[in-house]
């Protein structure tokens, strides 16, 4: 008996020790002295998109460049993208995190910030005209930058990462097979739900064995991500599956949970009606990109809600190996609406992509070291930085940039005022170049790739022209509206409650999206609809609505206050009287 | 066995054969399909023309794999890891299982060791403590990080111990009388009599390591990417499409390069082949081995 107790105690102790062993902390690197200069060293964690290599070591062109320009030296931990979150979480948990991490998403950063893993970006670094991050800040207009800050800051009012400019103003639209439309005498893509139904009926009558509408979901968010075109027809934002709440762009009304409203019910009725008529792909909630490509190749989809710049790829997939086959996929700026008298919704892309570099807690202990890094990231946002990160080095570039480039290894030349890759270099905007064999900046110069924005010429050549055309076409349409993102700043407890409720609500919502679609539960039937609402309430809908409303109201107030303070700080910086000071001045006199 | 030629018996035989043929088709079809897609053109795959035989057959995918560096290197690493791990695991497992299968009087702390071993079947420290141990032992970014933390599987140890318990003690007693010591008995008598169990447990270990990608993700980094095993590379290839869709939705700036379907399937097929080759050779032991411990008394 005694032995048993000792064994029990010993094994418990082993387990406890092994668990406690997880509590660790990292020690940050400092700097090295080189040629009489202080070179700040950092450990940087970044994710890689493919298995293409990077030039390693401190003698690469990129390493020499940042050492010369910013006194910065980076040591990398490059992680395949699919593993980045797990490995970075683990590194924070075991205390050997990198000084800088890139590629995280805003929710992760906000979570890590609330767990004290991240250092805030000093407010003075992005306030005023001559701040360290002035070029990064200038990626947006002054008004837009205020909105970016309002959205990206955490609940403590601090910014914990540097968001990336979203260069696409609008990219999602309805794409359709114009050749098939022409063949059936359909002259225009529909604008209302009823018109869409009529067009689908015509297509179905002509091609009874074919799927009319299909789409691959955008990742793993929810099965509903494949039918977001229908969401918008009912004035529900495209991003509602992750955002849940919205503010109506016409009435200004705040809706804390969208997918249980009357509009949502009408939307569910519509997708069921379309499915019952055989218009929608039965597998739309689960098909991946490969299966969707097969649909195209088999002429098994004539309408999809997708990216504007995918048209060429759709035509290529549809033709397959038969170059003589007719395929004329076309995009349209006609969005579908169920409420033509009220207007039409399109998706205006967010002001920023919610990923970018973040800095680990402890880095602010040496502000010179921190600032050197911020200066480097600010340079990435300059035209010179974007040009370097996208196109590399031109033979006539300044000496410090040429350092480390072997003769004959200059990557681009200016042709008619536009940068063009030299022969033998991979150009993602040019399908003639070979992505496997041609040289890349990462492998030749060791550079990290585009940060914050793609160089404008490259962006235009890849997708910018289509994006601009679509955006302009939306602008030209009467009564077209978009949803603004709404800032929501949760404190730590609220964030936990939000996460718990969101998981339960998402699971129930996704279950019902599929059941409404298949007709297992009928949204036209009051009893079925009430069952849905009741089930959502059981998993915390009312509590979620209360939480969202509280956070929305409080965040609105906090942002108004912050903007007033920033305006005051900007005023001081430029030597002008701030509004607050101006209003106080007469009283002081 | 007397042959039963009754109608009911013949009907039953037909049913059994039909069922087994169907089962064989269900098992073989995915493998044949993967092989066919790997040899077909991407356009034919997209067009849904491949369902059994290769369409527009070509060896481009295999050529790309062979001429590329990543897959051959990861294949080699997976082979090395699997062989090394299987040998080490069998060595450690048998040398621990054998004493635990013998009388308590012959082995000091027999009960304590057994309890400690069984404890690990039900309780595990978790990912972070194990990671820290691997880190403190300077195993990160080495092959040993994949092998040592999992070198003994308690389940396999229990299987092995049960098998050793079935080997008559009288054989050992006879050997003792002839002057053999414990080690000689173990290597000259116990192990040669345990081929079935060794083959079975060895297969369990081998398959485990061959399919292993998670520990490679945790303990290896890009700095030693030549050590990445095949399954880890396959996982990256298979995830490309999903990641590409997510990257596009998130507005990421770097273009994701997606492999063709034939390349994915060729890599998958290559990963299946070694296990397919190994199974027939150990099948004769396997049937006997899986029965180990199933009957007592």
Q: What is the CATH number for B226? A: 1.10.3720.10
Residues 6+ apart with CB under 8 A from A512: A521, A532, A535
Name the more confident of A16 and B170.
Answer: B170
How many Cβ pairs closer than 8 A exist between chain A and B? Answer: 142
pLDDT at B225: 83
- Asked whether residue B47 falls in the same domain as residue B80, the answer is no
Q: Give how far B245 is from chain A: nearest CA, Å.
A: 6
Q: Please name the residues between 61 and 90 in chain B that touch chain A, using a CB distance below 8 Å.
A: 70
B193 in Cβ contact with B162 (< 8 Å): no
- Asked whether residue B157 falls in the same domain as residue B242, the answer is yes
What value does the mean pLDDT take over residues A490-519?
Answer: 91
Residue B109, in any domain of the structure: yes
User: Which regions of A149-244 does DSSP assign to beta strands (E)?
Assistant: 164-165, 172-177
Among A274, A272, A300, CA closest to A215: A300
3-state secondary structure A248-300: CCCCCCEECCHHHCHHHHHHHHHHHHHHHCCCECCCCCCCCHHHHHHHHHCCC
Neighboring chain A residues of B228 at a CB cutoff of 8 Å: none
Q: Give how far B176 is from chain A: nearest CA, Å.
A: 33
Q: What percent of chain B has pLDDT over 70?
A: 89
Q: Give how far A409 is from chain B: nearest CA, Å.
A: 22
The domains located in chain A, with CATH, are 31-165+352-390+446-454 (3.40.190.10), 172-347+485-550 (3.40.190.10)
Q: What percent of chain A has pLDDT over 70?
A: 90
Q: Name the one residue in this structure whose structure tokens are 């200038």.
A: A138
What's the ipTM? 0.77
d(CA B276, CA A369): 56
Give the tens place of pLDDT for each residue, A538-572. Answer: 999 999 999 999 999 999 998 888 888 877 776 66
- Asked whether residue B54 falls in the same domain as residue B75, the answer is no
Highest mean pLDDT among A4-8, A223-227, A325-329, A395-399: A325-329
Q: Please name the residues between 93 and 152 in chain B that touch chain A, using a CB distance below 8 Å.
A: 111-112, 115-116, 119, 123, 125-129, 131-133, 135
Among A358, A375, A384, A389, CA closest to A451: A389
Task: Quote the number of domains for chain B.
Answer: 2
Nearest chain B residue (CA) to A57: B223
Confidence check: pLDDT of B255 > 50 = yes
Neighboring chain B residues of A24 at a CB cutoff of 8 Å: 132
Residue B297, in any domain of the structure: no
Interface test with B, best of A18, A93, A292, A467 (most B CBs within 10 A): A18
Neighboring chain B residues of A296 at a CB cutoff of 8 Å: 46
- Asked whether residue B181 falls in the same domain as residue B45, the answer is no
Out of A76, A94, A353, the one facing B132 most closely (by C-beta) is A94
Q: Report how far apart, in Å, the C-alpha atoms of A22 and of each of A88, A285, A444 are.
A: 15, 40, 39
Whether B244 and A216 lie within 8 Å, measured CB to CB: no
What value does the mean pLDDT take over residues A409-426?
Answer: 91
Predicted confidence band of residue B241 (pLDDT cuts 50, 70, 90) = low
- Asked whether residue B54 falls in the same domain as residue B67, the answer is no
- Asked whether residue B100 falls in the same domain as residue B119, the answer is yes
A516-530, B12-26, B43-57, B172-186: lowest mean pLDDT where?
B43-57
- Asked whether residue B226 falls in the same domain as residue B100, the answer is yes
Confidence check: pLDDT of B275 > 90 = no
User: What region, left, alpha or beta, does residue B251 occupy, with left being phi > 0 and alpha being psi -120 to 50 degrees?
Assistant: left
Whether A449 and B253 lie within 8 Å, measured CB to CB: yes
Residue B28, in any domain of the structure: yes
d(CA A149, CA A125): 13
* Buried/exposed code over A371-401 (b: 16+ C-beta within 10 A; e: otherwise): bbbbbbbbbbbbeebbbbbbbbbbeebeeeb
**End of a domain among B58, B81, B99?**
B58
A14-28, A417-431, B2-16, B177-191: lowest mean pLDDT where?
A14-28
Nearest chain A residue (CA) to B251: A353
- Asked whether residue B152 falls in the same domain as residue B194, the answer is yes
Contacts 24+ apart (CB under 8 A), A94-97: A94/A22, A94/A24, A94/B128, A94/B131, A94/B132, A94/B135, A95/A23, A95/A24, A95/A25, A95/A26, A96/A24, A96/A26, A96/B135, A97/A26, A97/A45, A97/A360
Distance of CA B53 to the CA centre of its chain: 29
* Token couple for A527: 């009893």
- Asked whether residue B179 falls in the same domain as residue B259, the answer is yes
- Asked whether residue B106 falls in the same domain as residue B235, the answer is yes
pLDDT at A311: 93
**End of a domain among B58, B73, B99?**
B58
- Asked whether residue B70 falls in the same domain as residue B207, the answer is yes
A32: enclosing H helix or E strand? strand A31-34
Residue B269, in any domain of the structure: yes
A153-167, A209-223, A264-278, A496-510: lowest mean pLDDT where?
A209-223
pLDDT at A291: 86
**End of a domain among B39, B58, B77?**
B58
Average pLDDT for chain A: 87
Highest mean pLDDT among A256-260, A446-450, B3-7, B267-271: A256-260
Q: Name the one residue in this structure whose structure tokens are 């990417």.
A: B225
Give the tens place of pLDDT for each residue, A170-226. Answer: 999 999 999 999 999 999 999 999 999 999 999 999 999 999 999 986 555 688 888
Give the tens place of pLDDT for each residue, B89-112. Answer: 999 999 999 999 988 888 888 889
Q: What percent of chain A has pLDDT over 90?
A: 59
Q: Give how far A83 is from chain B: nearest CA, Å.
A: 7
d(CA A488, CA A242): 13
Give the tens place of pLDDT for each residue, A353-384. Answer: 888 999 999 999 999 999 999 999 999 999 99
Angle at A379 between CA A156 and CA A37, to 5 degrees: 100
- Asked whether residue B145 falls in the same domain as residue B168, the answer is yes
Residue B80, in any domain of the structure: yes
d(CA B146, CA A523): 52
For residue A103, give the 3-state DSSP assignment.
strand
Neighboring chain A residues of B129 at a CB cutoff of 8 Å: 18-19, 21-22
Task: Tell me the residue range of the domain where B213 lies.
Answer: 63-290
How deeply is A539 buried, as exposed, middle or buried, from its count of CB atoms within 10 A (0-12, 13-18, 19+)? middle
Whether A82 and B243 lie within 8 Å, measured CB to CB: yes
Residue B98, in any domain of the structure: yes
Residue B1, in any domain of the structure: no
Confidence check: pLDDT of A298 > 80 = yes
pLDDT at B251: 60
């Amino acid at each position: 008996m005694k032995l048993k107790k000792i064994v029990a105690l010993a094994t418990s102790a082993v387990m406890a020790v092994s668990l406690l062993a997880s509590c660790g902390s990292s020690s940050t690197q400092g700097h090295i002295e080189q040629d009489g200069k202080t070179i700040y060293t950092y450990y940087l964690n970044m994710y890689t998109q493919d298995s293409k290599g990077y030039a390693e070591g401190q003698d690469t062109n990129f390493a020499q460049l940042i050492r010369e320009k910013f006194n910065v030296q980076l040591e990398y931990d490059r992680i395949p993208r699919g593993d980045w979150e797990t490995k970075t979480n683990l590194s924070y948990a075991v205390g050997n995190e990198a000084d800088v991490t890139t590629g995280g998403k805003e929710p992760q950063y906000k979570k890590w910030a609330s767990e004290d893993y991240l250092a805030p970006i000093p407010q003075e670094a992005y306030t005023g005209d001559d701040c360290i991050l002035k070029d990064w800040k200038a990626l947006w207009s002054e008004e837009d930058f205020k909105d970016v800050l309002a959205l990206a800051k955490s609940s403590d009012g601090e910014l914990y990462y540097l968001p990336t400019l979203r260069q696409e103003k609008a990219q999602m639209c309805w794409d359709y097979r114009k050749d098939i439309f022409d063949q059936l005498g359909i002259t225009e893509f529909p604008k209302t739900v009823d018109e869409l139904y009529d067009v689908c009926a015509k297509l179905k009558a002509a091609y009874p064995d074919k799927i009319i509408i299909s789409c691959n979901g955008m990742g793993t968010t929810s099965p509903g991500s494949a039918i977001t075109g229908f969401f918008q027809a009912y004035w529900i934002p495209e991003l509602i599956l992750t955002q849940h709440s919205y503010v109506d762009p016409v009435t200004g009304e705040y809706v804390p949970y969208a997918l249980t409203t009357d509009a949502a019910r009408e939307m569910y009725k519509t997708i069921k009606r379309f499915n019952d008529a055989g218009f929608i792909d039965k597998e739309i909630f689960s098909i991946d990109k490969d299966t969707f490509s097969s649909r195209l190749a088999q002429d098994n989809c004539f309408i999809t809600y997708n990216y504007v710049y995918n048209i060429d790829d759709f035509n290529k997939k549809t033709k397959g190996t038969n170059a003589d086959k007719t395929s004329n996929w076309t995009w349209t700026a006609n969005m579908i609406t169920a409420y033509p008298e009220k207007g039409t919704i399109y998706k205006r892309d967010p002001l920023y992509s919610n990923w970018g570099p973040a800095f680990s807690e402890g880095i602010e202990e040496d502000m010179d070291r921190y600032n050197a890094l911020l200066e480097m990231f600010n340079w990435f946002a300059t035209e010179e930085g974007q040009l370097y990160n996208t196109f590399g080095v031109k033979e006539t570039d300044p000496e410090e940039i040429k350092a480390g480039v072997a003769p004959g290894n200059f990557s681009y030349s200016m042709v008619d005022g536009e940068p063009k890759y030299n022969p033998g270099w991979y150009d993602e905007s040019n399908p003639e170049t070979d992505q496997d064999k041609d040289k890349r900046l990462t492998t030749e110069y060791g550079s990290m790739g585009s940060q914050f924005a793609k160089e404008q010429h490259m962006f235009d050549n890849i997708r910018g022209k289509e994006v601009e055309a679509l955006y302009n076409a939306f602008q030209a349409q009467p009564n077209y509206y978009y949803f603004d993102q709404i800032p929501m700043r949760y404190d730590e407890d609220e964030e936990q409650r939000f996460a718990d409720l969101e998981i339960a609500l998402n699971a129930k919502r996704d279950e019902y999206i599929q059941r409404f679609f298949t007709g297992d539960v009928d949204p036209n039937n009051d009893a079925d609809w009430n069952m849905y609402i009741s089930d959502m309430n059981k998993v915390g809908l009312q509590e979620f609505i209360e939480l969202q409303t509280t956070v929305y109201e409080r965040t609105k107030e906090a942002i108004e206050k912050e903007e007033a303070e920033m305006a005051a700080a900007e005023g001081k910086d430029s030597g002008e009287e701030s509004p607050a000071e101006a209003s106080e001045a007469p009283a002081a006199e | 066995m007397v042959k039963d030629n009754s109608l009911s018996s013949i009907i039953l035989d037909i049913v059994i054969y039909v069922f087994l043929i169907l089962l064989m088709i269900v098992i073989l079809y995915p493998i044949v399909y993967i092989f066919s897609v790997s040899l077909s053109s991407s356009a034919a795959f997209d067009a849904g023309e491949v369902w059994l035989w290769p369409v527009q057959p070509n060896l481009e995918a295999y050529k790309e794999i062979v001429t590329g560096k990543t897959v051959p290197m990861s294949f080699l690493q997976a082979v090395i890891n699997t062989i090394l791990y299987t040998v080490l695991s069998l060595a450690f497992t048998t040398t621990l299982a054998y004493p635990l299968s013998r009388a308590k009087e012959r082995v000091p702390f027999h009960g304590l060791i057994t309890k400690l071993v069984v404890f690990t079947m039900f309780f595990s420290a978790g990912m972070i403590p194990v990671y820290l141990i691997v880190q403190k032992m300077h195993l990160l970014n080495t092959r040993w990080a994949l092998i040592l933390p999992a070198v003994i599987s308690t389940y396999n140890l229990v299987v092995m111990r049960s098998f050793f318990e079935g080997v008559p003690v009288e054989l050992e007693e006879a050997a003792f009388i002839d002057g053999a010591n414990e080690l000689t008995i173990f290597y000259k008598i116990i192990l040669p009599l345990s081929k079935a169990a060794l083959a079975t447990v060895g297969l369990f270990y081998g398959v485990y390591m061959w399919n292993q990608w998670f520990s490679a993700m945790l303990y290896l980094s890009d700095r030693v990417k030549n050590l990445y095993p095949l399954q880890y590379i396959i996982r990256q290839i298979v995830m490309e499409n999903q990641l590409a869709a997510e990257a596009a939705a998130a507005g990421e700036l770097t273009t994701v390069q997606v492999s063709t379907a034939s390349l994915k399937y060729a890599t998958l097929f290559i990963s299946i082949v070694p296990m397919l080759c190994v199974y027939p050779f150990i099948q004769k032991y396997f049937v006997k081995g899986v029965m180990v411990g199933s009957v007592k008394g």
